Every structure is written in C-alpha cells, then in structure tokens.
Structure 1
Amino acid sequence: MRALDEKETKMVFEKLFKFIGTNLKHLMERPAVEGPDPQPGRYCLRLHKNRVYYASEALVRRATAVARPRLAGVGTPIGKFTHGGAFHLTVHALDLLAAHARRRVWLKPDTERSFLFGNSVPKSSLARITENTQANDGVVVMSMADVPLGFGVAVKSAQDCRKADTNAVIVLHQADAGEYLRREEELM
C-alpha cells in the first residue's frame, strides 16, 4: 500500500471532479473520527494492487503493520487502474458520489430494474434531472425515494432532454448497485 504519485492523483481527482465538482475539497478534508486518536484526522487515497482506496489516516497508519501480501484492502475501494493506465470508478464509490454529487437523475419506479441490469437510461425512464446538467457531466442515478442506484455520464443537457425523442439515451451507464450480484467474484 502506498500513496498515489502525482500522475495517479491527477487522474483520480479528474474523474471524481467530473461527478462531485468543488465538493472534492469536502470529500478529502472532512474530519475522520475513526479510531482511538483524540484528534480527528483526515481522509486520504492509497493504492494497493492497482485499486485506489479512500481511508482515514488513522486506519492507514494501523494498516502499515500488516504485511503487503496479507493486506486485502484498507478503507473504501473507489476505483482501479486498468492495465492501460486509465482510472475507472467502481460501484463501491457510489455512496461517496451520492453524498457529494452536483448532478443527479431520478428514474421512474417501474424502470429502475432496467438500469440495475446494466442498461443506459432512455428519456422514457427519466422522472427528474438536475436543472444545470450539461452533456458529458457525471451524474448519480437515483430512485424516486432518493436511493442511489448507480452513476453514469449525461449524453444530453437538461435543456436538450426536453426536446429529445422518448427512446433517446440520456445517461450512459457506468456502474450500478446490481453489479454486486452480476460480478460478485470479480468485485471481491
């Protein structure tokens, strides 16, 4: 387990910025109250076996006592680096993204299942969309009960959605909560 280098940090922050924008500062600087330390620490990003983890500094200090081959992970896995060097957010980051997201899309109750099976979001499934959403923005997909279902990339802006055909794709699927069941052995 090691800290991310400058290039890796830039790639991770760019991807997170796409979804949470300036709230990235709040994500990294919020106080962590885990552990017996009397003073609250902060959160940090660590790389272990091509996966990026979001963990408190107190937890990272404790994990240094564990040998690398025996360490499975530390904190919340938020993404991974591919063999080609690109960074991809994984479904594990959904809770962090949902808590700090700038843009959201809400689905109709009868169409949530389609998204959870890995399909993109057509206009006919859309119940609401954040007003200032632009094309290529990262969005968190929510149910009408404000339960985060996954995340993706907006294909059309909120203004263009009004004029779009009912079968037009509005959000390209990137990850959803159904992946825990579909790809169980790969995610663990």
Structure 2
Amino acid sequence: MRPLTEAETRAVFEKLGKYIGENIQLLVDRPDGTYCFRLHRDRVFYLSEKLLKLAASVPRDSLVAPGSCFGKFTKSHKFRLSVTALDFLAPYAKYKVWVKPGSEQSFLYGNHVLKSGLGRITENTAQYQGVVVYSMADVPLGFGVAAKSTQECRKVDPLAIVVFHQADVGEYVRNEETLT
C-alpha cells in the first residue's frame, strides 16, 4: 500500500470532479478526522489516517482491503470508478437524475436510462456530465454520464438514452468476486 503518485492523484481527482466537483475537499478534510487515498494492487482505497497507521502493521500479502475501494487503475493506466464509492459520491453530487420506479430494475441490471424512465433531472446538467442516479424515494442506485443536457431531455424521443450507465448497486450481486 502506497500513496498515489501525482499523475495517479490527478486521474482520481479528475474522475471524482466529474461527479462531485469542488466537493472533493470535503472528502479529505472531514470533521471526524483526516482521510486519504492509497493504492494497493491497482485499486484506490479511501481510508482515515488512523486506519492507515493500523494497516501499516499488516503484511501486504495479507492485506485485502484497507478501506473503502473507490476504483481501480486499468492496464492502460486509466482510472475506473467503482460502485463501492457510491456512498461517498451521493451526498456531494452536483448533478442528479431520478429514475421512475418502472425503470429502476432496468438500470440495476446494467442498462442505460431512457427518457421514458426519467423522473427528474437536476437543472443545468450539461451533456457528458457525471450524474448520480437515484430512485424516486431518494435512494442512490448508481452513477453514470448524462447523454443529453437538461434542455435536450425535454424535447427528445422517449426511447432516447439520457444517461449512460457506469455503475449500479446491482453489481454487488453480479460481480461480487471482482469487487474486492
């Protein structure tokens, strides 16, 4: 387990910035202590300084997950955000999309959000902006990328894609062996 390099930190913060903007600062400087990002086996973990000190005494081969996994670096050194970061992204999300109850299951199976399943969308959402997807009961379901801006969503065909799927809580069941 090691600190992120400057290039790795930039990649992680750029990806997080798509979803939570300048609220990244609130992830690091929290009222309950200081938190940091660490790299372990190509995965980026988010953990407290206190937990970091405790994890330092565990051998690397025995250490599975020192904190909450935010994502991983691919072989081409691109950062891919994981669904395990959803609990940290949802409270700070700048742009949100609410899905109708009939489309929740489709999204949780890994499909994109169509205009017909769109309940609400945050005003002034730009095209290709990172969004957190909620149910109509304000339960975070996952996250994705807006395929259309808020204004385009109003006049688009009902079968057009409005949010490209990135990750959802259904992955806990579908891909449970690869999440750790």
Q: TM-score range by the shorter chain?
A: over 0.9
Distance across 2 between alignment mates of 1:77 and 1:184? 13
The residue aligned with 1:139 is 131
| Residue number in structure 1 paired with 2:8 | 8
| Aligned twin of 1:38 | none
* 2:165 counterpart of 1:179: no
* Structure-2 residue corresponding to 1:66: 58
* 2:93 is the counterpart of 1:101: yes
Task: Find out whether 1:51 has 2:78 as its counterpart.
Answer: no
CA contact (8 A) 1:107 1:141 kept: yes
Shift of the alpha carbon at 1:27? 1.2
Partner residue in 2 for 1:128: 120
1:84 aligns with 2:76: yes
**Offset at residue 31 of structure 1 (A):** 2.8
Match of 1:25?
A: 25
Is the 1:104–1:142 Cα contact (8 Å) retained in structure 2?
yes
Counting strand residues as a fraction of each chain, which structure ranks higher?
A: 2
Cα displacement (A) at 1:4: 0.2
Aligned Cα root-mean-square deviation (Å): 0.7
SS of alignment partner, residue 185 of structure 1: coil
Which amino acid in structure 1 is aligned with residue 19 of structure 2? Answer: F
Alpha-carbon distance in structure 1 between the residues aligned to 2:146 and 2:64: 34
**What stretches of structure 1 move > 3 A for 4+ residues in a row?**
none
How far apart, CA to CA, are the structure 2 residues paired with 1:64 and 1:25? 25
Amino acid in structure 1 at the alignment position of 2:98: W
Q: Normalising by the residue count of structure 1, what TM-score does the alignment of the two structures yield? A: 0.94
Alpha-carbon distance, 1:111 to partner: 1.0
Question: Which consecutive unaligned segments of at least 5 residues does structure 1 have?
Answer: 33-40
Question: What is the TM-score of this pair, normalised by structure 2?
Answer: 0.98
Offset of residue 29 of structure 1: 1.1
SS of structure 2 residue aligned to 1:128: strand
What amino acid is the match of 1:92? T
Gaps of 5+ in 2: none
TM-superposition CA deviations, 1:29-88 (whole Å, max 9, x none): 1133xxxxxxxx300000000000000011001110111111111110000000111000
Please name the residue that 1:37 is paired with.
none
CA–CA distance in 1 between the matches of 2:81 and 2:67?
15
CA contact (8 A) 1:31 1:43 kept: no
Q: Which residue of 1 aligns with 2:106?
A: 114
Between the two proteins, the alignment pairs up a number of residues equal to: 180
Amino acid at match of 2:145: V
Identity %: 58
User: 1:155 pairs with 147, 167, 170, which one?
Assistant: 147
